[in-house]
Amino acid sequence: MTKYIFVTGGVVSSIGKGITSASIGRMLKNRGLRVTMIKVDPYVNVDAGTMNPYQHGEVFVTDDGAETDLDLGNYERFADLSLNKLNSITTGSVYGSVIAKERRGDYLGRCVQVIPHVTDEIKEAIRRAARDKGADVAVIEVGGTVGDIESLPFLEAIRQFKKEAGPGGSLYIHVTLIPGVGPWNELKTKPTQHSVAKLREVGIHPDILVCRSKSPLSQEMREKLSLFCDVDEEAVIESMDVPSIYEVPLIFEREGFGDLVAKRLYLYDSKPSVADLQEWERVTTAIAQPKRTVEVAIVGKYTDLRDAYMSVIEAIHHGGIANLAKVNLRWVESADLESKPAAELLAGVNGVVVPGGFGERGVEGKLEAVQYARENKIPYLGLCYGLQMAVIEFARNVAGLEGANTTEVDRDTPHPVIHILPEQEQVEEKGATMRLGLYPCRLAEGTVARDVYGEALVYERHRHRFEFNNQYRDELAAKGLVISGTSPDGRLVEIVELKDHPFFVGTQFHPEFRSRPNRAHPLFRRLIEAACANAAPSKRK
Ligand code: GLN
């Protein structure tokens, strides 16, 4: 029987509900339990794929090609899981299936209503995701803030779970803000009291409060929260800001949060809950005590919205963890490279990453960054659009194909070295129609890619419409562009690299999605290793 943990948020958004949920997943994993994690998003979009990164941050892609909320990335990284389509539930997806059933006549003439039909659909979607993974425990994060109109059907559905899951079968955790006010930054519990009252209005009584605050909770405040919110004192968990998100699970463990969850859910009949923290401690020690520091530039067009690059940022840090290096990030707006020289904006960086992207803006700036990294032998990793940029730059500046471009930017380019995938040509609908999810990639002997992975066949996640144009393959290869990874049939170029360069690799896929703090993705591990080597000579000076 799966047990269910529901995580809701109160007072304000962006208080770290995702990291809290992911940390709960980690704590369950530390106890050897089979865990799955589900994000419920009250927006009407069927998935996150059609949303602008400015609205929503990164679109996280799963193995099976679902375009999901970035919180799924945190779940995968913290609890070391591979999630799928079933782990992301939205108002759009729920109503989509209710309406499809209604049209099929499945409701046998009944009037279809929010309760019970929509709530049943939500509950079934949650159970389906848990069954799919044979989970001992499913952690379900409800997006939005308690009190939002959009969340109501979801809150009603999770309320109904309590009775159905039976005693010890479910747990309600409320993540809330304890703001500091006035000149002395006095912590206030009132917003939390109101938020819990709001939850109780819809019939949910939280079992545990996770209190986000800038300073520690006093004993008196714990008593007050316990009294007014009707939770046990041991269930008032303090959650202060920390330098690295990866510390959160260990801090929670020290507070007894993991044991409390295990106890409340009767996860162990007789023996006490034993958590194995070793693997995670290795991660946090590497972060806390780095042996060296390097600087890596991320050149993109959403640099003022870091959430748009969440998995890229994390994967770079994982590379740092694996090399015992602290990685400082330099954010370079690609459009700025169109007016200021790369030698100025990228001066002194030990590595350059051009992440995924779409459209025209900033493309010429990205090409400047690629050229600078190539010519100055700065380690370079291009991700998806970053591979496409590397190919265009090589075509223009090494192979002499003037005006080379991707047809995404210039339909009439004389040298369309990147063009639309044939299967994409007829596609008109935007939702879930890109080349998405896991595909195999065969690595050529004697290449950097083959060496980095240590395997001949790898699987990586994709999200794109354009690809390397095979008409230019021989010409560019003759000039020195190494095609080190292709689809097994050889038709699609998946990885390009350069010789005579410390590290210059572009991937048509997104390796960042499969990187974990405890298992850095090999390409990011090697990028930071090369960045450390790049930094070393200047240190010796
Ligand atoms: N815009 C490019 C394409 O669709 C790259 C996509 C990406 O970087 N994810 O092919």
Closest CA to 511 of 387, 420, 347, 379: 387
Q: How far apart are the first and last CA of the chain?
A: 62
Pocket test for ligand 1, best of 354, 392, 408, 433 (most atoms within 8 A of CB): 408
- What is the model's pLDDT at position 541? 43
SS3 of residue 104 by DSSP: helix
- What number does the ligand 1 atom closest to the CA of 434 have? 4
Count of other CB atoms within 10 angstroms of residue 537: 8
The tens digit of pLDDT for each residue in 213-264 reads 999 999 999 999 999 999 999 999 999 999 999 999 999 999 999 999 999 9
Kindly name the residue from 67, 314, 512, 529 that is annotated as catalytic: 512
CA–CA distance, 366 with 353 (Å, rounded to integer): 10
- What is the model's pLDDT at position 100? 96
Cβ < 6 A, ligand 1 pocket? 356-358, 384-385, 408, 463-466
State the residue for tokens 């980095």: 452
Residue type, 5: I
Paired residues of 326 in beta bridges:
293
CA–CA distance, 252 with 248 (Å, rounded to integer): 6
Distance 486 CA to ligand 1 centre (A): 17
Residue 76 is a catalytic residue: no
Cβ-based neighbours of 340, under 8 Å, separated by 6 or more: none
Distance 95 CA to ligand 1 centre (A): 30
Distance 531 CA to ligand 1 centre (A): 26
SS (H, E, C) 327-355: EEEEEEEHHHHHCCCHHHHCCCCCEEEEC
Cβ-based neighbours of 503, under 8 Å, separated by 6 or more: 379, 380, 381, 448, 526, 527, 530
Contact between 532 and 332 (Cβ < 8 Å): no
Question: What does each C-alpha distance from 224 to 189, 207, 274, 278 come to in angstroms?
Answer: 8, 15, 31, 36
SS3 of residue 174 by DSSP: strand
Residue stretches of the chain with pLDDT short of 70: 269-272, 538-541
CA–CA distance, 150 with 173 (Å, rounded to integer): 19
- What is the model's pLDDT at position 271? 63
Residue 317 is a catalytic residue: no
- What is the model's pLDDT at position 540? 47
The residue whose CA is least distant from atom 3 of ligand 1 is 464
- What number does the ligand 1 atom closest to the CA of 421 have? 10
Distance 323 CA to ligand 1 centre (A): 29
Pocket test for ligand 1, best of 387, 465, 468 (most atoms within 8 A of CB): 465
What's the full length of the chain, in residues?
Answer: 541
The tens digit of pLDDT for each residue in 458-493 reads 999 999 999 999 999 999 999 999 999 999 999 999
CA–CA distance, 479 with 458 (Å, rounded to integer): 27
Question: What does each C-alpha distance from 32 to 26, 49, 136, 374 come to in angstroms?
Answer: 10, 33, 10, 46
Cβ-based neighbours of 534, under 8 Å, separated by 6 or more: 294, 350, 351, 377, 378, 379, 502
- What number does the ligand 1 atom closest to the CA of 510 have? 9
Residue 510 is a catalytic residue: yes
Closest CA to 387 of 423, 409, 359, 418: 418
Cβ-based neighbours of 531, under 8 Å, separated by 6 or more: 294, 295, 296, 325, 327, 350, 351, 379
CA–CA distance, 308 with 330 (Å, rounded to integer): 15
- What number does the ligand 1 atom closest to the CA of 359 have? 1
Virtual torsion, Cα 127, 131, 136, 141, nearest 10 deg: -40
Distance 401 CA to ligand 1 centre (A): 22
Residues 478, 484, 489, 493: is their CA dihedral positive or negative?
Answer: negative
Kindly name the residue from 384, 393, 441, 467 that is annotated as catalytic: 384
Distance 466 CA to ligand 1 centre (A): 6
- What is the model's pLDDT at position 328? 97
Question: What does each C-alpha distance from 324 to 119, 154, 205, 286, 378 come to in angstroms?
Answer: 48, 43, 44, 5, 20
Kindly name the residue from 317, 501, 510, 521 that is annotated as catalytic: 510
- The structure's pTM equals 0.94
Distance 17 CA to ligand 1 centre (A): 30
Report, in angstroms and rounded to the nearest whole number, the Rg of the chain calculated over CA atoms.
25
For residue 438, the Cα-to-chain-centroid distance in whole angstroms is 16
SS3 of residue 482 by DSSP: strand
CA–CA distance, 92 with 41 (Å, rounded to integer): 9
The residue whose CA is least distant from atom 6 of ligand 1 is 464
- What number does the ligand 1 atom closest to the CA of 358 have? 1
